[in-house]
Structure 1
Amino acid sequence: MQIVWMSILAIIVLNIIFAMITVFREKRDIAATWAWLLVLMLLPGVGFVFYLFIGNKLSRKKIFDIKAQESIGMPELVQAQKEMLADDEDLLSSRQATENAKEMASLFLESDESILTKGNKIQIFTDGAEKYDALIKDIYKAEHHIHMIYYIFKDDKIGNRVLAALEERAAAGVEVFVIYDALGSRALKPKFFKKLKALGGEAETFFGSRFSFINLRFNYRNHRKIVIIDGKIGYTGGFNVGDEYLGEYKKFGYWRDTHLKIEGNAVLPLQSRFLMDWNATVSHHKLEYQESYFPLMKKKGKSNMQIVSSGPDTETQQIKKGYIKMISMAKESVFIQTPYFVPDDSVLETIEIAVMSGIDVKIMIPNKPDHPFIYRATTYYAAELVAAGAEVYIYNNGFLHAKTIVIDGEICSIGTANFDIRSFKLNFEVNAFIYDPEIARQQKEIFYKDIESSYLLTQSLLDGQSRWLKFKQTFSRLFSPIL
């Protein structure tokens, strides 16, 4: 018996030593370090398997490979805009040249080299059927190229409708390139794109693995949703390709999301983003600058905007900084919609400061989880904000997947990044930051319409929660830095 206890003690001591070596050998923030230590301590052996798949940081070589992809077609425009700022020249039209917009434009030029484009036409979609009807119609009109990135691409009704449109255009000689994420689209078999490839198109998995069940880059996903058609039309936002996004899964019910169709020169940075992601994904057929990829367009609409990207290849966390900047600049209101609300301390404190400053802060989250562990952490932080004085609404008409923020009816952001640490640090994301009061007011009206299908989370409702539910929320929150 003594030998057994000595063996158990030895295993515990070795587990502690290896846990500390494993976690501290890579630079990471303190909260994530302690969260991983907790996992490794509580789950001896099993914790190391989790860490191997989702705790390992990107290798320096892979980060270099991603960063080495030039910002194709953009450097000259970025430099010109920086010089304009240095000379105090106005980048924005007078109608949209508020001090807040100028500060945001400067922030993204410096942190992400994101050019500011004027005169874009924007259409907001909140319904999956409408979004895909418009997208497929535009795909069939493509004349030169269709470039597409989706985190989730499924072999179902809508997936096959999109594929059929891509195949038809590829057969007509249009260049068709597709990137789909290896984890998000894990159920998709390579043969799904066999006909498209035979017709001259290409489809590649982002951060894939030769062995579907072993992928040591499991934790770093391309969560972007981007479509570029002829360099003139762009789509980005929350909708993936799958029937659940049309509200056809009973588990979720109606799928409430937000997506953009963009016409104008804001399509150019989306095009550049695709080319960089493509070149970081493939080992063959690297893409280079072509004039046909970047057709400069005359004014299509009235909206000024910047396309901002972030990912684990940089420590800057550009989109998170944009969210913080927007919230801290607000004078009247901050409206946020997100399916996952797991903020780090900097974001949470910025929101709480806004509440305490008398800003009208409204946050909307779903009434059901698609990832239970993350949802429990979301409801924990929602309760914190209710206690601070914010209004938290629970969307009750299906599943809310929109990733939006609007301040003062003046500036808004719509994109792929959630209000969680994963989107801030681990996923490759893209957001549109829009400096147009008309679009911001439109987004604010959408929020108010969604309130009609929501209920207010009150302190009395929180007090009525069971102890077991509160325990699950608190326990999930402990792991928020690594969710």
Structure 2
Amino acid sequence: MILLLEVLGLVAVHALSWVAVSHALLTKRDPRSALGWTVTALLLPILGPLLYVLFGISRAESRASRIMRQQAAIEPEYAHPVCPAEPPEFVPDNIALMEHLGRRLTDQHLCGGNALTPLHNGNEAYPAMLQAIQEARRQVFLATYIFNAGTTGAAFAEALAAAAARGVDVRVLVDGIGTLYSWRKPWKKLPEYGVRVALFLPPKLFPPNLSINLRNHRKVLVCDDIGFTGGMNISDDNILSNRKNCVQDVHFRCLGPVVNQLRRAFLLNWGFCTGEYGSLPPSCPSPVGDSRCRILMDGPGSQADILNDLFCGVINGARRSVRIMTPYFLPSHELMSSLRSAAQRGVDVRVVLPGKNNLPYVHWATFRILPDLLSAGVRIWYQPPPFAHTKLLAVDGYYSQIGSANLDARSLRLNFELNMEVFDPSFHTLVAGHVNSTIARSREIYLRDLQRQPLWVKLRNAACWIFSPYL
């Protein structure tokens, strides 16, 4: 009997190991991860499956899948005339293919007749945003990752409260983790003035919600028929001055039919957080410019890696030039290959990174991957302080991309992000011009610079790089 129990126990233990192995093989998208958990589960029959249950099963991804399914279920109710535009005429084939790629990934046509204006730092962006809130008569929809206390936060809170007092439909959506960046929270008192406020997955113990990796990183402001998007949060840090810890950034004012796409993006987020899915206006704003745009909403749990696939496809299609500016640069393996391949076939690939980073460990991890890019012909610059939070992509004189996504694993795998494709040579000139002017005052880094780093620095960089999927 004892022998039989021992045999049954041994069978049960190994059965648990194979259950863990089967789950890893069927759910893991990275073969290295699947292999690692397979070996762990088989070599450690009891501990291995336990470790897999605790750390290997991505509850974040499972919850994200539910979010994306819920959003997909409601999207048909948000079908509306967004003034679809045909692909740009008289453009090179590679530009037309870029348009086709975005359409396949998002199931959305380009939206023509838009005008976009870059707003540099909070010095330009905040006055324009506050004016739009003050002049709004129907709606003010604000989604932000961070809404910090300070002069800027107080000004926004005052403008939002005043808009609600005059009968405007004012809604504010703040990310749950983003609320932790400031001890005082200017948005907390807004409901007293008639502003509707919601939080995106705020962390809490009862009922339990510890999905700290699921963050709404999207930045959207819609005031009637004026929209704003980009990468800028609401914080005094974005106002350039003599203060320490200032942050450089670029936001964008949007006019035209694309504002309805921004409105739609906000309402989908709002509906998830509140369960309330209001209807869109029956018509879209009138055409006011020449930019053809498309909103890209991406997040974990979706069937496709929309932004990662799009970045790779656009760079693979580039023929002449690629300009990238990003604060955090830990690209996926596929994106690394696309950058290397573009440079090796003669495309002028230039990447601008911040010389001073607010996350030193990300800065150090980046050094570990740079030799692979530099050896392929990619050119890289570090711009002088203050820290630059700007996210821009410009390709081949026609295509641009702006928005909230960084080129790192957190943005491309974990965050809910919102970017905008722009097909317009004039707008490309503005974006590429900003990148090029920054390059003119930046320091280019060469392979020999990295080779001369002390051994302890190389080891530090490599140690941080190991954890890059979680940074």
| Structure 2 gap ranges (5+) | 1-12
Report the residue type matching 1:29 in the other structure.
D
Instruction: Output the CA distance in 2 between the equivalents of 1:184 and 1:369.
Output: 19
Superposed counterparts of 1:287-436, under 5 Å = 287-291=277-281, 295-436=283-424
**Does the 8 Å contact 1:69/1:279 carry over to 2?**
no
* Cα distance between partner residues in 2 of 1:151 and 1:212: 23
Instruction: Report the Cα distance in structure 2 between the residues aligned to 1:315 and 1:190, rounded to whole angstroms.
Output: 38
CA distance in 2, matches of 1:33, 1:453: 45
Q: Is the 8 A contact 1:417 1:423 kept in 2?
A: yes
2:259–2:285 Cα contact (<8 Å) kept: no
Shift of the alpha carbon at 1:328?
Answer: 1.2
- Residue of structure 2 aligned with 1:228, choices 212, 222, 225: 222
Match of 1:169 among 155, 159, 163: 163
Provide the rounded CA distance (Å) in 2 between the counterparts of 1:369 and 1:38.
Answer: 37
- Supply the AA of the counterpart residue of 1:27: K
Between the aligned partners of 1:153 and 1:212, the Cα distance in structure 2 is: 24
Q: CA deviation at 1:56?
A: 3.9
Contact kept in structure 2, 1:403 and 1:414, CA below 8 Å: yes
Distance, in Å, in 1 between the alignment partners of 2:363 and 2:24 is 26
1:335–1:405: 8 Å Cα contact kept in structure 2?
Answer: yes
Counterparts in 2 of 1:164 and 1:36: CA distance versus 1, 3 Å: farther
User: Would the alpha carbon gap of residues 213 and 456 (structure 1) be closer, same or farther in structure 2, given more than 3 Å must change?
Assistant: farther
Q: Which segment is superposed worse, 63-72 or 202-211?
A: 63-72
**What is the aligned partner in structure 2 of residue 6 from structure 1?**
none
User: Does the 8 Å CA contact 1:31/1:481 hold for their aligned counterparts?
Assistant: no
Take 2:387 and 2:121, find their aligned partners in 1: how far apart are those partners? 12
Deviations 1:331-363 (A, max 9, x none): 111111111111111110011001110111100
* Identity value in percent: 27
**Against the structure 1 CA distance between its residues 190 and 17, is the aligned structure 2 distance closer, same or farther, given a 3 Å change threshold?**
farther
1:39-438 matches, cutoff 5 A: 51=55, 56-59=60-63, 61-70=66-75, 72-74=77-79, 91-94=86-89, 97-188=91-182, 192-211=186-205, 215-230=209-224, 232-247=225-240, 252-253=245-246, 255-283=247-275, 286-291=276-281, 295-438=283-426
Question: 1:419 aligns to what SS in structure 2?
Answer: coil
The question of whether the paired residues in 1 share the 8 Å contact of 2:141 and 2:171 is answered with: yes
Query: SS at the partner of 1:68?
Result: helix
Would you say the 8 A contact 1:178–1:202 is kept in 2? yes
Question: What is the aligned length?
Answer: 452
Q: Deviations over 1:231-271 (max 9, x none)?
A: x1111111101111224695534x22222110000111111
Give 2:5's aligned residue: none
Query: Contact 1:406–1:443 at 8 Å: present in 2 too?
Result: yes
Residue 34 of structure 1 deviates from its aligned partner by 6.8
The farther-off stretch of 320-329 and 425-434 is 320-329
In structure 1, the residue corresponding to 2:221 is in which secondary structure? strand
**Which has the higher mean CA deviation after the structures are superposed, 32-41 or 355-364?**
32-41
Does 207-216 or 101-110 show the bigger shift? 207-216
TM-score, structure 2 length as denominator? 0.86
Distance 1:434 1:225, change over 3 A: same
- The alpha-carbon deviation at position 395 of structure 1 amounts to 0.9
Match of 2:3 in 1: none
- Residues 61 and 130 from structure 1, CA distance in 2 versus in 1: closer, same or farther, beyond 3 angstroms? closer
Give the CA deviation at 1:467: 1.2
**Tell me, what secondary structure is at the counterpart of 2:288?**
coil
- For residues 434-449 of structure 1, the aligned pairs below 5 Å read 434-449=422-437
**Shift in Å, 1:186:** 1.6
Does the CA-based 8 Å contact 2:201-2:215 persist in structure 1? yes
Checking the alignment, whether the CA contact within 8 Å between 2:147 and 2:187 is kept in structure 1 is: no
Task: Give the Cα separation in 2 of the matches to 1:18 and 1:244.
Answer: 51
- Aligned twin of 2:6: none
Q: CA deviation at 1:194?
A: 4.5
Q: Distance in 2 between matches of 1:248 and 1:39?
A: 53
User: Equivalents in 2 of 1:94, 1:146: separation in Å?
Assistant: 35
